[in-house]
Amino acid sequence: MKRKQRLAGGKETLKKLLPLVGKYWPALLLSTLLAAGAVVLQLYIPVLFGEAIDQIVAAGQVNFAQMGEYLGWILVLIAAASLCTWGMSLLNNRMTYSIVHDIRCRAIRHLQALPLSYLDGHSTGDIVSRIIADTTTLSDGLLLGFSQLFSGVLTVVVTLIFMFSKNVSVSLLVVLLTPLSFLVARFISTRSYRLFRQQSEIRGRQTALIDEMVGSEKVVKAFGYEERASARFAQINRELQQCSQQAVFYSSLTNPSTRFVNSVIYAGVALLGTLLIPGGSLTVGGLAVLLSYANQYMKPFNDISSVVTELQNALACAGRIFDLLEQPEQSPDAAGRLDQVRGEVELRDVSFAYDPSRPLIEHFSLRVQPGTRVAIVGPTGCGKTTLINLLMRFYEVNSGSIAVDGHEIDALSRHALRSRFGMVLQDTWIKHGTVRDNICFGRPDAPEDEVIRAAQAAHSWEFIQRLPKGLDTVLTEESISQGQKQLLCITRVMLCRPSMLILDEATSSIDTRTELQVQHAFDTLMQGRTSFVVAHRLSTVRDASLILVMRDGKIVEQGRHDELLARSGFYSRLYNSQFQPS
């Protein structure tokens, strides 16, 4: 049963790959014609050699003039066959890299359309491995496939035609013995596919671990995790080594096995041909031609078996790529728009869970009036950030609905919804580029004076001026501090001046003095705008119009700061725990 599943998996992957190849059918057709031309020319050369040999009748009876003419034609055919092979290789290269280019572009586009739940459930390293390493392996396999399979199949067909034209009995012997080579190759290659698929998966885990360890090297060193990280890598590396050795061992058996069968066929042709010469049904030159054809006929099987490792590996990698490409995209985008945004937000009986077996938010209802500053507080894991993810449609609600200005958000396009929110998270994100590129991420065409005003409002202009080239300084993850990164993220939102704001611990990495200045800038920006502020430091939410106190995915209290303190409830205990000495 498992063997049938592996065979079906390889065939299914091949079926998915063929339409991508068929897109380049003109180049494929021309490559096939050139391959046919090269094969026919190469296989006609033994005929001329045989004719040249037959010009040697006996000692002193050699037709040198006719032999020279045959040798001249042989040189012409060799040159023509080489030209056809060069043209075929050029086309195959262009086709291969064009197909891989298409797959990578399609993978990146598809990745942008996948729901966040998929990205959260798969490591970055594994996804990168599929798009980069697996497609590279696939390109190597495709190149070998185009070069070996096309010419190989044509060589087999044309060789049989030439052989039957020379001698039927010898040709029948070759045809009858050929299935042995196929059976041996099939027996071994079907077992190697599973191992190459496993090898590709382990390589993805290895890439994920490297990405994790290198990206968090400071944390690794701070907690003395170096030896354990090395041990984890060594374990995965051993698994990869063992799997790779087994895969290569099985696949490498194909070549010597098929060569053994082919040697038996070659010996059979030589023996039968030798017996036919005395009867006059075959000449010495004819036997030389048949032996040459027997070798040419078996060469494609040897060539294909010699690259079976790469072909099996390529199919296994293609299977992982198609697994990514076939992941269901996020729900289709609606065409609704938000033209005039007042900022009324309503959640009606919303329920949501990352894991269906562990409910997080249940029957959550809330109505926020335009211009309201809403603070969301509560212990870690109570659903504060989840609520923000639902507002932005990073995740879809399991039941209930969310509306902005009376419009259901699932009836709006995601861009229309998200473009109305300005979002500053605790986790900062800086891309490799200039300071200007990072600030203007939401407004690439923003004039410089507006960029400077936004930086001044966010209090990032002071450190930007100290950079070597100011706004044109190229940034990397390590070139500025965490606090400076957060100031740039705040500047990015200040520049866009969105209709509504979401601040999720937006000043967590900033010093106290700068935080007060930025908070003042936020106060100005939030005037007249509906704002959602997620905060752990309750001192920052005293002036909020409405404070939502969450616990276990539910609102347990709501009201203004003074009202909640007067109730002496859960909020009061949270607040006093931060400001009363222990």
Evaluate whether residue 337 is within a structural domain: no
Same domain, yes or no: 351 and 252? no
Q: Is 350 helix (H, G, I), strand (E, B) or coil?
A: strand
Mean pLDDT by runs of 10 across the 582 residues of the chain is 46 79 82 82 76 65 72 86 87 84 88 82 80 82 69 76 78 76 68 74 82 76 81 88 81 73 78 76 72 73 62 79 86 77 87 82 85 85 81 88 88 85 80 87 88 88 88 82 82 86 76 74 79 79 84 82 86 77 48
pLDDT at 26: 86
What is the C-alpha separation between 67 and 82, in angstroms, rounded?
23
Q: Which two tokens stand for residue 448?
A: 């410089």
Q: Which of 146, 139, 46 is nearest to 87 (CA)?
A: 146
Q: Which of 97, 81, 101, 103 is nearest to 35 (CA)?
A: 81
What is the C-alpha separation between 403 and 411, in angstroms, rounded?
9
What is the C-alpha separation between 402 and 409, in angstroms, rounded?
6
Looking up residue 483, the CATH number of its domain turns out to be: 3.40.50.300
Evaluate whether residue 338 is within a structural domain: no
> How many C-beta atoms lie closer than 10 Å to residue 279's C-beta?
7
Strand 399-404 to strand 407-408: parallel, antiparallel, or no bridges (unpaired)? Answer: antiparallel
Helices 2-22, 25-53: axis angle to 10 degrees equals 100
Q: Is 560 helix (H, G, I), strand (E, B) or coil?
A: coil
What is the torsional sign of CA 218, 224, 230, 231?
A: negative
pLDDT at 522: 76
Same domain, yes or no: 316 and 407? no
What is the C-alpha separation between 443 and 496, in angstroms, rounded?
7
Q: Which two tokens stand for residue 25?
A: 């059918």
Evaluate whether residue 4 is within a structural domain: no
The C-alpha torsion from 483 through 485 and 486 to 489, rounded to 10°, is 160
pLDDT at 580: 60
**What is the rounded end-to-end Cα distance, in angstroms, of the chain?**
65
Same domain, yes or no: 351 and 489? yes
Q: Alpha carbon 185 to chain centroid distance? A: 31
Q: Which of 343, 484, 476 is nearest to 492 (CA)?
A: 484
Evaluate whether residue 51 is within a structural domain: yes
CB of 550 closer than 8 Å to CB of 383: yes
What is the C-alpha separation between 438 and 309, in angstroms, rounded?
45
3-state helix, strand, coil in the chain (%, to 5): 65, 10, 20
Same domain, yes or no: 319 and 352? no
Evaluate whether residue 556 is within a structural domain: yes
What is the C-alpha separation between 82 and 19, in angstroms, rounded?
30
Evaluate whether residue 100 is within a structural domain: yes
Same domain, yes or no: 387 and 281? no
Q: How many domains does the chain have?
A: 2
What is the C-alpha separation between 184 and 483, in angstroms, rounded?
64
Same domain, yes or no: 410 and 282? no
Q: Which two tokens stand for residue 119?
A: 């990205």
Same domain, yes or no: 239 and 387? no
pLDDT at 4: 44
Q: Alpha carbon 318 to chain centroid distance? A: 10
Looking up residue 234, the CATH number of its domain turns out to be: 1.20.1560.10
pLDDT at 172: 81
Q: Which of 562, 423, 430 is nearest to 503 (CA)?
A: 423
CB of 547 closer than 8 Å to CB of 571: yes
Contacts of 103 (CB under 8 A, 6+ apart): 20, 135, 138, 321, 325
Same domain, yes or no: 401 and 482? yes
Evaluate whether residue 3 is within a structural domain: no
Contacts of 226 (CB under 8 A, 6+ apart): 220
Same domain, yes or no: 502 and 360? yes
Same domain, yes or no: 186 and 124? yes
Q: Tell me the H-state helices in 54-167.
A: 64-113, 116-121, 124-129, 135-145, 151-166
Same domain, yes or no: 304 and 178? yes
Evaluate whether residue 59 is within a structural domain: yes
Residue 142 domain boundaries: 16-325
pLDDT at 444: 86
Same domain, yes or no: 181 and 124? yes
**Which helix (DSSP H) or strand (DSSP E) does residue 403 occupy?**
strand 399-404
Q: Which of 313, 131, 111 is nearest to 204 (CA)?
A: 131
Q: Is 485 helix (H, G, I), strand (E, B) or coil?
A: helix
Angle subtended at Cα 564 by Cα 562 and Cα 568, rounded to the nearest 5 degrees: 110
Helices 168-215, 226-252: axis angle to 10 degrees equals 180
**Which helix (DSSP H) or strand (DSSP E) does residue 565 occupy?**
helix 561-567
* pTM (2 d.p.): 0.63
**Which helix (DSSP H) or strand (DSSP E) does residue 502 occupy?**
strand 500-504
pLDDT in tens, 132-181: 888 888 887 777 666 676 677 777 777 777 778 777 877 787 777 777 76
Strand 399-404 to strand 554-559: parallel, antiparallel, or no bridges (unpaired)? Answer: unpaired
Phi–psi pair at 532, nearest 5 degrees: -115, 120
The residue among 325, 353, 380 that closes a domain is 325
String of DSSP letters for 159-203: HHHHHHHH-HHHHHHHHHHHHHHHHHHHHHHHHHHHHHHHHHHHH
Angle subtended at Cα 424 by Cα 422 and Cα 429, rounded to the nearest 5 degrees: 115
pLDDT at 61: 64
pLDDT at 7: 43
